[in-house]
Chain A
């Protein structure tokens, strides 16, 4: 931070409090930084948090990758709510504006060719990430993000969703992840008495079902967010 303590505020161009407010904010945030930094430095080193507990239960989780096990099994309730948050954010966006039309500038030939080359590879990558999530880094959120990126590339190259798919097919794709996730949660709550308490024998299959539908839904929700509004009207 530069040393500017001799700097006089200039009341004739700015409201008198403006410069003072900035310095006050900077000073307070330096104090905040010092406090947070000392809190972090005082944290115990070498404890591995909940790694031990996760490790102990990993064999019963249905997957062999610890992050996926936490995400879909041990803290599946969190992930279920995150899916709901995504859907609520999209509903918020759709309630505010219709989708803007495709970009007016024509895409260059480079973008055209790249889209044709990349989109199939990206779809394959999304599927790979989804499948990989069971035993290595990867999973629904990463796969969904790649799907969404493929859709954004297609939007940017002037392609748009066919009008016949804009109504219920697109909307059911968006809701599918949360519907399947909630249905599994409700079924398990009914049969086993606890929300998302997978039977160990079926956990792998149930997690794969939830993750597959979640990948498709996360991808379409993020792509729909990129459009910035409701598709289907305003064009």
Chain B
């Protein structure tokens, strides 16, 4: 990014955080697709959610010392707690699947 000096005026650190979020999202989505184990899928899904929060918080930033946009921040705060509860529900569902079927993968992933 520093090498691209002609465009650097348009690129703020907030863009960098948002890009990090997008990168994290893509990596987590890849893991979510290719990993068969449900715990890995749940963790990947959780990271996908967290990376969206990073994008939101990054894009909420405003240049030069002004307070950031509070609306995305409020959404992220509630979103984090909801993501935690959804992860808990997913983990309990996974344990239930293990107790009833003895498997920790979905039927269509059994070959992998």
Contact = CB atoms under 8 A, between A and B. Distances in A.
13 contacts: A14-B112, A40-B22, A51-B70, A71-B77, A75-B75, A78-B75, A86-B85, A141-B77, A221-B85, A222-B84, A222-B85, A228-B91, A228-B92
A97 B15 contact: no
Contacts, number: 138
B34 A70 contact: no
Interface of A: 14-15, 18, 21-22, 25-26, 29-30, 32-33, 36-37, 40-41, 43, 45-51, 54, 66-67, 69-71, 74-75, 78-79, 82, 85-86, 89-90, 92-93, 96-97, 139, 141-142, 144-145, 218, 221-222, 225-226, 228-229
Interface in B74-97: 74-75, 77-78, 80-82, 84-86, 88-89, 91-93, 95-96
Interface residues of B, number: 48
Interface of B is mostly: helix
Contact of B15 (A41, A47, A67, A225): A41
B66 interface: yes
B1 to A, nearest CB: 10
Nearest to A229: B92
Contacts of A49: 60, 62, 69, 71-72
